[in-house]
Structures are given as structure tokens and as C-alpha cells.
Structure 1
Amino acid sequence: MNDFTNMGLPEKLVARLTDMGLTEPTPIQTGAIPHAMQGRDVMGLAQTGTGKTAAFGLPLVAQIRAMGRPEPKGVQGLVLAPTRELANQIADTLKELVQGSPLKVAVVVGGQSINNQIKRLDRGVDLLVATPGRLIDLLDRRAVRLGATKFLVLDEADQMLDMGFIHALRQISKHLPSERQTMLFSATMPKLMEELAGEYLKNPQKVQVSPPGKAADKIEQSVHFIAKSEKQKLLIELLDTHRDELALVFGRTKHGSEKLMKQLEKAGFAAASIHGNKSQGQRERALQAFREGKVRVLVATDVAARGLDIPAVRHVYNFDLPNVPENYVHRIGRTARAGREGAAVAFCAPDEIGELKAIQKVLKMSIPVASGRPWEGLDTPDRGGQKRGNGGRGGQKPGAPKSSNRRRRRPNRAKAA
């Protein structure tokens, strides 16, 4: 018995799910699919790794199967995603769902030949997965038409806002018909997200299966209070205890992540990196090597914080704490996938105490301390100007300059996708 049967999905699509080994829907799928099949707009809130792609993908495939062929350069259903990695993963899932049907799925992202993408779109596609920047390039060249698009999905919408895509989304929306079904999926619900939902959705059905900011229950979290100069040494020590397991290491900057990867290679680890300065081909090769276990340590910026579904990832290291606290939840969500267990280790230098406080506020919990003593001011509400402690592994020496704890400006990373 397939539990997808009573959701209004066509029999052939349910049979396809059975062939894929999918018989029991996840909570977000149970909540979203019936409403989407009724043509309603849906706003889905769920933590990463909960099956959101199928939650919107199944209704899209089911409804588009009953439609005619798209017009030349036309698109029946459009899915927008913030990063190349997530767009490619969504496209892979959709291609599995449409297997055995005449539906065509295409993906357009930066870092690849736009001429090849133009040729691919010439006859029209049923489902198009795109990053906003590349889609605007194609719209400017009149290589794609969205006037007859009946379905729009904004996936990981909160990250698109954080990456500065709000103006790009508004530019794209001008090409879309007002009469359409729209689905918005997000792991968090910042205030700007409410404005976006009000702008794009009409009387949406809200489906929330876990509190925003909640980390997966099977992730064992810990934090080391450590001087910045000691981070690399500690990371190597910890990685050395599980050389045969996959580990994902998050850095804050492209340059810093690349430098750390090279340092890990010198230490004897099979390492690779992905970030905005890498070409699409380089990023895909690094991810493939990581999936296959040829690379055991992947160093990445937040381009890999969402959409990276590699169940074998056992360890996530926050070498640098993220400026956006919700990104911590997405980062550690790369482990403990598909019902497995995972470990998430954070390093906190004195000038990152504000980031840690913000993360713990989002989590509504204190992360267990693995080593070092919490820097002074951790429990005070003021983010800036508090006195630094001299705790932590390799702690700050008395008389050392105090580090600024002001929140850094969020960079506009729209072009990185």
C-alpha cells in the first residue's frame, strides 16, 4: 500500500513513486500536497532535509501531465532556487519523478554555457529550474517566455532574500501571469518573508511541520571556545579521529575557505572546496568526488548550506560561525539525513560571541560546550562592546586588543549563484 494514493495524485505517478521506493510521505508532503493538488497557493515552513522538493514537485508533475505541450520558448512550471547546487538537485529529483512520461525538465544556472541553455529552451520545457540571475539573463535575450507559466515555486525563499535576490524576483514576476499557482517554501520566516509571501501568494495555505530554526533531533551539537589562531590545529586534530568518514567544513569567505582547503591537503587529507569563485564544472566535480568518497573533507561557504543532500555526511564543522544565525541550522542540516545520526561542531573565537548568542537564540537552547570556557558576556543581551573573557582553548592573552563584536554587513551574494 502506498500512502501517497489518497492525495489526489494520478495512479501512474503513485506507481512511479513506488518504483522509486517512496511509499510513506513526510509531514511536509502530507500537509502540502493535498492543498497544492486543489490548486491553492501554499506556504511551506519546514527544516532542511524534510522532503520539500517532492512536496512541491509531485503536484507540479501531476498537474502539468494533464496539460498540453508548452509553446516554443515557453515554460509550464518555474522553480526558482538561490544556488546552483540546489537548482541542480531539484532538477535531478524532478527528472526522476517524470521518468516514463513525456514531460521535459531543464535547469539553467550561472557558470554554464548560456548558448546551450538557449538551445535547450527553444522548443519549450514543461518544468524549468533556475537561479534568478541566469533566468534574468535569458529573459533579457528573449530566449524564454513566462507569459503562459501556470506554476511558480520559490524554494529556500529566505536564503534568496538573504542573498539579495529580492529585486531579481520582482523583475522576474513582471514576466509571469497574475493567474497562476504559487508555492513558497522556506526553513525560516523572517519579517521580510511575510512581505514576500503577501506579494506573491493569494490566500495561501500555511503548512508548518517544525518550528523555524529547529535543528534535526539526531544531530549531536557541540561548541569549542577557541582562539582564532588555534582553529586550524583543532580542526586537524578532530578530523584525524574519523578519516574514513565524510566531513563538511564551513568557512565564511571564499578566500578563507580555499586557503583552509589547501592547508588540509598539506596535512594529508583528501580535501576539496566549493564557493562562489569556483566554476560550475569545478563545483560539480568537487561534489561528485565527495559523494563518491574520493574526497573525505569538503570545505565550503554557505553555497553548500542548503540543497546538499549527501546522506553519508557524518560530521559538519562550523570553522567560522555564520553571520546569519538561521544559516547555522541549514549548515548542520547537511548531516543526520535520511534518518541517520550526525555531529555538528562549532568553533567560537572571541570576536564570534555575538554570532553564537544569535544562533542559540534561534535554536532556543545552549549548545553544549566541548572545550574551553565561554567568553565573558555570552549571557548578556548586548551584542557589542562587552568585555571579552580569556577563556577558551588557547584563550586570549591578558592585555590583548579587544575584538569588535558588531554584526557584519551581509554581502550581496546574488552574483555568486
Structure 2
Amino acid sequence: MNFSEFNIDPKLIEKLNELSITEPTAVQAKSMPLIAENKNIMFQSETGTGKTFAYLLPLLTRLMATENPGRNVRLMIVSPTYELASQIKGQVQAISDIKCCLLIGGAPIARQIDMLKEKPEVVIGGPARLLELIHLKKLKADAIETLVLDEADRLLSKELRDDTEGLLERLPVKVQLVGNSATVSDYTRTILQKARDGLSKGSTEENRIQLITLPMEDVLRKRITHWAIFAERRDKIDTLRSFINAVKPEKLLVFTGRNDQIENITSKLQYKNIECASLSSKTDKKDRKAAIDRFRSGKIKVLITTDLASRGLDIPGITHVVQMDLPDREDFFIHRSGRTARAGNTGINCVIGDVFEMQNYAKLEKKLKLKVYPKMLYKGELLDPNDLIEE
């Protein structure tokens, strides 16, 4: 297959070729025709399978094919994190000249109001800031044709649900709703269907949200190798440092569930001359962008972050993921792990855990049908414990 078979605009295809993207992925082939037909859909596919282009290509093709004399906002893309929103904007700009702007919280709203005066056709941002700009009558929602909820399950989580639902209530009756995520719960589907029906004051076949699921490519099991390293809580950062020195990862993403540990991990690694950067909810937007850009370009090889970056962040070439704790929710574990082994590559996911976390990791191994390999650090090397016993 090629993209021309899906009636994607030739200019977009030309830009894709420059990016060495010549064939649609499975999720793109299945979703693009339905999106082009203006269907309401929710598509579920594993991380790294091309979900962003699955909706961008048909929607940008539509924008390029139809006139917009009023230069209104016609496409709104909602994201749970600044990093993902910024990444989506970058992908729009990489393949088209369509004017778009980023509208996210934590950045000066006055500057964003000025950007809206430049008449973008596409707006990308978080639900709270988008809703705020609509309330202020600075962002007109009347002409929006399609609303995309990127990482829909996260957008309907407890902390973001009210803003997301408030945004949905202010859209035109005939708006097309497109959602995607690596994991889609029944809860997410139910909430979105109720919101879509509410716009039209009733349930109709036209309003029905179709669920598109793709067969598991088993990225988690087939392309990611899972390791476990035991460490007492007080020794975890030293273990991470030893791991980095032993493995010498090309690009390593380190996760911790604790905001208060970000600075501690970063400063201790830097003290040992390991160049790294960090991200957390408290990091200034400018500093967050700078850290990601340095990591993406390879200027630094280690990035430490909380789970804010585990959703949708697509940085090429991440060879290793280290989880400094085991998250309570298995979908967080899956999304963390899925930052490596993207676009057909392989990768390593390693959990550094104490006794309690290792017990839970064993349960998760069985539940997700993984094969976890225990490892230990000895004299500067990463070894299989059995090899050490044999010696």
C-alpha cells in the first residue's frame, strides 16, 4: 500500500517521502478512510504505531481541499501534556504549511491571544487553556469541523475530565469526534459517546463512535526486553548510576513516580559527571522544551522524568527505559515501557525495585505474559545472577 491509495494530498505525500515514510502503518490504513468519510471514531493501537499521522493526514488533506474564506479554526487537537501537544504541532509543520498554533497552560495567555489573531486553521493544546480561551471569546469554536482527543483515556482521567467534557459541550452540533489511545477503557468510550450524543440532544446512528482496534503487534513482548534489578530504596540512585556506567545507553529515559525525587536523581547523577536533564510538572515550559530538544538531538543521553512524559512522547532512538519504581497502574507501566522500541526498533525496559516492587513485578510479568530477566551489577558489569553463581 501507499498513501496515494487513501487519497492523501500529493503535497503531504511528498513531505512524508522526505521523512522516509512511504507506506501506511496498519492503524493508518484502517483509520484514515473512516476519518476521511467524517465518521466519529476511537482507534486503539500500541505505542509507536503511527497514531498521530493516522488522523493528521486525512484531516489536513480535507483542510487543503476546501476553502476557508473566513480563515476560521477548523481543526482542534486536544492533548493531555505540553510535550505531546508540542510534538503534534511539529508533525503538522513537518508535512504542511497550514497555519497552526499551540495553546497550552503555564504559558502567557496574552501571547496566545495574539497568535489567534493570525487566524490559524489548526489549534493544538490542553483542555483547560482551550476552554479558557473559548470562555474569553478569543477562540471561536463555531467553525470547528473536527475535534481530536489524542490520548483520550488520559484526557478523561480524574484530573482532566471536567475540562475535557466542558470543551466538548461548547463545540458545534455536527463536529466530528476522533479519539485515540494505546489503551481504551469502556469508561472512556461511554463518556465520549454520552458527550457526542449530548451535542445533538439524542443518540443517532450518525453520532455513533466506532471503535477501531488493531491486533496487538506484541511490541511489549516481542520487541522490548524486560530486566529487573533489585535495590533497596536508599540505594536506587547509586544503582542507576552503576547501570548507566555499565550499559552506556545510547539514549536513556528514566521514570520516577515521585516529583520530589526528580531533582535528587538529577543532582546526584550530575555530581558523578553523568550529563543529564530532568522534567517534572514544576519545570518551566521553556526549560522543559530545552531539555527535550537536547535529549532528542543527542546532546545529552539521559533524561529523568515523571509520568507526564510517558504519554505520547515520541523521541527517536530511545534504547533504554529505566523505571525507578513500579507504578500502581499497569497502563502506566505499558506507556513507560513503550517509549522504547518505536518504529520497528527494539529496546530495553528495566525496573529498579525493592523487595515489595519485585514481588509486584513478578505478578505483572505473569499478568502481561512477559519474560523478565533478573540482572545484577558486579564489578562494573551488568550480569545475569546465574552466570555469577556458575563462576
TM range (shorter): 0.7 to 0.9
Superposed CA offset, 1:178-236 (max 9, x none): 20211110111223212123224532333222449962632111122332122122211
Shift of 1:97: 2.2
When the two chains are superposed, the root-mean-square deviation of aligned CA atoms in Å is 2.3
CA–CA distance in structure 1, aligned partners of residues 243 and 138 of structure 2: 50
- Any conservation in 2 of the 1:42–1:207 contact (CA below 8 Å)? yes
Judged with a 3 Å threshold, the aligned counterparts in structure 2 of structure 1 residues 361 and 177 are, in CA distance, closer, same or farther, namely farther
Superposed CA offset, 1:82-123 (max 9, x none): 000000001110112213xxx211111123221111011124
Do residues 91 (structure 1) and 86 (structure 2) align? no
Superposed CA offset, 1:387-415 (max 9, x none): xxxxx9xxxxxxxxxxxxxxxxxxxxxxx
Judged with a 3 Å threshold, the aligned counterparts in structure 2 of structure 1 residues 23 and 32 are, in CA distance, closer, same or farther, namely same
For residue 266 of structure 2, the aligned residue among 258, 261, 264 is: 261
CA–CA distance in structure 2, aligned partners of residues 96 and 296 of structure 1: 25
CA–CA distance in structure 2, aligned partners of residues 216 and 93 of structure 1: 28
Q: In the alignment, which residue of structure 2 is the partner of 1:352?
A: 357
CA–CA distance in structure 1, aligned partners of residues 154 and 219 of structure 2: 16
CA–CA distance in structure 1, aligned partners of residues 361 and 2 of structure 2: 41
Q: In the alignment, which residue of structure 2 is the partner of 1:78?
A: 76
Q: In the alignment, which residue of structure 2 is the partner of 1:378?
A: none
CA–CA distance in structure 2, aligned partners of residues 163 and 330 of structure 1: 18
- Any conservation in 2 of the 1:4–1:14 contact (CA below 8 Å)? yes
Do residues 175 (structure 1) and 174 (structure 2) align? no
Superposed CA offset, 1:332-389 (max 9, x none): 11112232221110122234357536744662335333359xxxxxxxxxxxxxxxxx
CA–CA distance in structure 1, aligned partners of residues 183 and 48 of structure 2: 14
Matched letter for residue 176 of structure 1: L
Q: In the alignment, which residue of structure 2 is the partner of 1:279?
A: 284
Matched letter for residue 244 of structure 2: L
**Same amino acid, percent of matched pairs:** 29
Q: In the alignment, which residue of structure 1 is the partner of 2:17?
A: 18
CA–CA distance in structure 2, aligned partners of residues 148 and 68 of structure 1: 13
Judged with a 3 Å threshold, the aligned counterparts in structure 2 of structure 1 residues 190 and 206 are, in CA distance, closer, same or farther, namely closer
SS where residue 63 of structure 2 aligns?
A: helix
Q: In the alignment, which residue of structure 1 is the partner of 2:183?
A: 188
- Any conservation in 2 of the 1:274–1:301 contact (CA below 8 Å)? yes
Which 4+ runs in 1 deviate beyond 6 A? none
Correspondence 1:115-154 to 2 at 5 A: 115-154=110-149
- Any conservation in 2 of the 1:70–1:125 contact (CA below 8 Å)? no
Shift of 1:325: 1.4
CA–CA distance in structure 2, aligned partners of residues 81 and 328 of structure 1: 20
- Any conservation in 1 of the 2:152–2:179 contact (CA below 8 Å)? yes
Q: In the alignment, which residue of structure 2 is the partner of 1:49?
A: 48
Matched letter for residue 249 of structure 1: V
Q: In the alignment, which residue of structure 1 is the partner of 2:204?
A: none
Judged with a 3 Å threshold, the aligned counterparts in structure 2 of structure 1 residues 261 and 124 are, in CA distance, closer, same or farther, namely same
SS where residue 220 of structure 2 aligns?
A: coil
Judged with a 3 Å threshold, the aligned counterparts in structure 2 of structure 1 residues 4 and 89 are, in CA distance, closer, same or farther, namely same
CA–CA distance in structure 2, aligned partners of residues 355 and 183 of structure 1: 35
Do residues 106 (structure 1) and 105 (structure 2) align? no
Q: In the alignment, which residue of structure 2 is the partner of 1:246?
A: 251
- Whose helix proportion is higher, 1 or 2? 2
CA–CA distance in structure 2, aligned partners of residues 130 and 303 of structure 1: 15
Q: Which is worse superposed, 222-231 or 41-50? A: 222-231
Judged with a 3 Å threshold, the aligned counterparts in structure 2 of structure 1 residues 367 and 188 are, in CA distance, closer, same or farther, namely same
Q: In the alignment, which residue of structure 2 is the partner of 1:367?
A: 372
CA–CA distance in structure 2, aligned partners of residues 363 and 219 of structure 1: 13
Judged with a 3 Å threshold, the aligned counterparts in structure 2 of structure 1 residues 83 and 361 are, in CA distance, closer, same or farther, namely farther
Q: In the alignment, which residue of structure 2 is the partner of 1:293?
A: 298
Judged with a 3 Å threshold, the aligned counterparts in structure 2 of structure 1 residues 105 and 361 are, in CA distance, closer, same or farther, namely farther
For residue 159 of structure 2, the aligned residue among 154, 160, 164 is: 164
CA–CA distance in structure 2, aligned partners of residues 129 and 362 of structure 1: 36
Q: In the alignment, which residue of structure 2 is the partner of 1:411?
A: none
CA–CA distance in structure 2, aligned partners of residues 115 and 272 of structure 1: 29
- Any conservation in 1 of the 2:149–2:179 contact (CA below 8 Å)? yes
Judged with a 3 Å threshold, the aligned counterparts in structure 2 of structure 1 residues 162 and 213 are, in CA distance, closer, same or farther, namely farther
Judged with a 3 Å threshold, the aligned counterparts in structure 2 of structure 1 residues 142 and 298 are, in CA distance, closer, same or farther, namely same
Matched letter for residue 110 of structure 2: N
For residue 347 of structure 2, the aligned residue among 327, 337, 342 is: 342
CA–CA distance in structure 2, aligned partners of residues 20 and 296 of structure 1: 23
CA–CA distance in structure 2, aligned partners of residues 317 and 24 of structure 1: 32
Q: Which is worse superposed, 179-188 or 18-27? A: 18-27
Shift of 1:17: 2.6
What number of residue pairs does the alignment pair up? 368
- Any conservation in 2 of the 1:58–1:97 contact (CA below 8 Å)? no
- Any conservation in 1 of the 2:47–2:342 contact (CA below 8 Å)? no
- Any conservation in 1 of the 2:252–2:319 contact (CA below 8 Å)? yes
CA–CA distance in structure 2, aligned partners of residues 3 and 156 of structure 1: 26
Shift of 1:265: 0.8
Q: Which is worse superposed, 266-275 or 362-371? A: 362-371
